[in-house]
Amino acid sequence: MDATKLIPLIRNVAESKTIKHAKLVHQKVITSGQQKNIAICKNLISLFFSCQLFQSARLVFQSIENPADITLWNSLISNYTKNFMFDEALQVFEKLMHFTLLKPDSYTYPSVLKACSGLGFANFGRTIHTHLVKNGFVADVVVTSSLLGMYAKCGMFGLAVQVFDEMPERDVACWNTVISCYHRDGQYEKALDLFKKMKNDHGYEPDSVSFTTAISACSKLLNLETGKEIHKEAMRNGFGSDAFVQAALIDMYGKCGSLDMALQVFNQIPFKNLVSWNSMIAGYSLKGDSKSCIQLLWNMITQQTKPNSTTLSSSLIACSKSSNLNHGKFIHGYITRNNINPDTFIHTSLVDMYFKCNNTQSAESIFKKMAKTNVVEWNSMISGYVSVGLYLEALEIYKSMNTTQVKPDVITFTSILAACTQLGSLEIGKDIHNSIISHHFESNEMVMGAVLDMYAKCGEVEIAQQVFSRLPERDLVSWTTMITAYGAHGEAFKSLKLFQDMKKLNIKPDRVVFLAVISACSHGGLIDKGCYYFNQMVNDYGIQPKVADYSCVIDLLCRGGRVHDAYAILQKTESIREDVELLSTLFSACKLHGEIELGEKIAGLLIDKDPDDPSTYTVLANMYASTKKWDKARKVRMKMKELGLRKNPGCAWIEVDKKIEAFLVEDKSIPQAGKVYECLSVLVGHMNMDELLF
């Protein structure tokens, strides 16, 4: 049998991918004496690769004593590359480079460059780039496109763009590669600009990849209008029903909050794949619409599309945002009933959902089942405890993590520092700061911002100032933290100077920084100055005051004894006139400054609002007692007894040897209670002596 009959036979067997037939046809080649025929050998190599008989393919190549035909080499290299055997492809290429009778051609390099991409061998790729320049292959659009693709996949975007700019001829694939480079590098505006240039300046028609990347860039930028324009263009160019374009459109409309349009595109897809289902669920998840997520999940299952980790974690995130425990339990139940082995994403989404729904016990139960081999799983528990105010528990989890091989990351440090800040746990905070330095996070803006906040709120203003001065970049949050720290510790003038320094750097103040400045004035007794900054906030910066702003101003006036001015602000501002917290602040100030008449008036308003709040009665009784109105004080206390109201006991904690000890008023259950009360008795005795002396 000659080559003209054997080659079609080999190709037919290659299509069937039958190993038995492949071996039979190989035997036929040998018995026909055609085993040295180059054309037949090339087809045999392809046949054996199609049947996964890689060793047989290599032996066919090696059986030729002097393979002086470049197409034979190209066949072996390209087949290795197509089967992701990149190392083997490069080994054959190396042999070719040492084979004196042949040189690589324009069909060799694309496969070799693809192998470099697959292995991430950028340096080897650069060596090949040199060969291409020396041998004049840079004018070949296919070869240069492969070079461009190699640099792009190896993350060397600068070199990719340079190759693109120097190309004498380009095709749509080249444009797509560079557009994707900018997209992957986070330069979404640049990606869109290049997409427009490709069409408008160079006359290329975008394909599915072009539209998908451009729509994805709009999604990242939340640019709904441009996204709509590209959608219309894709429809005109016949890509409206392309699966990749449709999935990108659903994602873009979902992220831009246009769920009606996302649903419209979704409903036009006749055969929905997993990507389109996930994109639609993710859109509803962003809005926290857990009900719609579950409806889509159910529809997806009934239409025989199996949800994956992305589907389930997106749905659980929606339940977290809506704090809908029943919906979250439904998804958890589905995972359990179907014996789905949860990965890190599902596990952490479950933990987050249970914390957001205030079901700490279930979150703890999930955490116990985790492998705990990566930092994300530990972070979910630490940040979860912090979010529900269980700071001591967060510290315990952090300590447990430190006994494993898992290394903390940015989220770990920012979360655990928040716990230290809330507890005022300075010594543990210092230890964590040392750990941050040893893990080389001292140049991370987010972590060092948390360190600054911890020192500032734990009272170490000098250390906070040192951290502030060394920050890699100072944002509005860090300035606000430092201004607040100085203000809280009575250094109002330093706060105000820092505020002026910030404005000189053209950093525009927001509501929060103004609150910090007014609060600093309040703590420093600078009443008029505080009022000046409040007016500046409203008049110069156009920030309309909210309850928190009014609260700060009322506190400022009350600290200065101007309780009637504070009351006047309440009376003329309808939105805060009956605010309980503001009235309570004003009421306490009346007690402090002996404003009995106004105090009685405000007490009446507070009792009308909440007749069962013991704090109002307590402050009123104390106010009467402080002005020696004993009968009125006794009547108030009798009223409390009659209503069965008791003052909630105060709670405090202290850090001793890096351990947090919490205790209540008259708490006898604490360790060494006897010594504590003995010490307290001695202190009270000294205080009484001091009173007698003065």
CA dihedral 273, 259, 211, 129 (to 10 degrees): -80
Domain ranges of the chain: 375-473, 545-648, 651-694
- Report the C-alpha dihedral over residues 442, 445, 446, 451, rounded to 10 degrees: 50
The model's pLDDT over 547-598, given as tens digits with 9 standing for 90+, comes to 888 888 888 888 888 989 888 988 888 888 888 888 888 888 888 888 888 8
Cα separation values, 638 from 3, 217, 539, 610, 629, Å: 114, 69, 49, 18, 15
- List beta partners, residue 662: 653
Residue type at 506? N
Cβ neighbours, 10 Å, residue 446: 13
Given a contact cutoff of 8 angstroms between Cβ atoms, the answer to whether 484 and 456 are in contact is: yes
- What confidence score (pLDDT) does residue 694 get? 44
* Parallel, antiparallel or unpaired: strands 659-664 and 651-656: antiparallel
Give Cα 666 distance to the centre of its chain.
45
Instruction: List the Cα angle 391/392/393 in 5-degree steps.
Output: 90
pLDDT along the chain (694 residues), means of 10: 74 80 80 79 87 89 86 92 94 91 92 94 93 89 91 90 87 91 92 93 91 96 96 94 94 94 94 93 95 95 94 96 95 94 95 96 95 94 96 95 94 96 93 95 92 93 93 91 92 94 93 94 91 93 89 88 88 83 85 84 84 81 83 82 68 63 67 77 77 49
Comparing CA positions, the residue from 298, 291, 265 lying closest to residue 279 is: 265
The domain 545-648 is classified under which CATH number: 1.10.150, 1.10.3470, 1.25.40, 1.10.1740? 1.25.40
Angle between the 208-221 and 188-200 helix axes, to the nearest 10 degrees?
A: 140
The DSSP string of 414-436 is HHHHHHHHHHT-HHHHHHHHHHH
Q: How many CB atoms lie within 10 A of CB 398?
A: 24
Q: What are phi and psi of 41, to 5 degrees?
A: -60, -40
CA angle 538, 539, 540 (to 5 degrees): 105
Residue with tokens 């987010």: 446
- Residues 125, 131, 132, CA angle at the centre, nearest 5°? 90
**Residues with Cβ within 8 Å of residue 79, at least 6 apart in sequence:** 45, 46, 49, 57
Q: How many CB atoms lie within 10 A of CB 356?
A: 22
- Rounded CA gap, 624 and 665, in Å? 24
670: phi then psi, degrees, rounded to nearest 5: -70, 155
Placement of tokens 């202290």 in the chain: 654
| pLDDT value for 38 | 83
56: left (phi over 0), alpha (psi -120 to 50) or beta: alpha
Show the tokens assigned to 73. 């080499």
Angle at 474 between CA 470 and CA 477, to 5 degrees: 125
Residue/partner pairs of 32-38 with CB below 8 Å, 24 or more apart: 32/1, 32/2, 32/6, 34/1, 34/2, 34/3, 34/6, 35/63, 36/63, 36/64, 37/3, 38/64, 38/69, 38/71, 38/72
How far, in Å, are 347, 396, 405, 423, 456 from residue 432 at the CA level? Answer: 27, 13, 17, 14, 15
pTM (global) more than 0.75: no
Please tell me the predicted confidence (pLDDT) of residue 129: 94
A 10 A CB-CB count for 77 gives 27
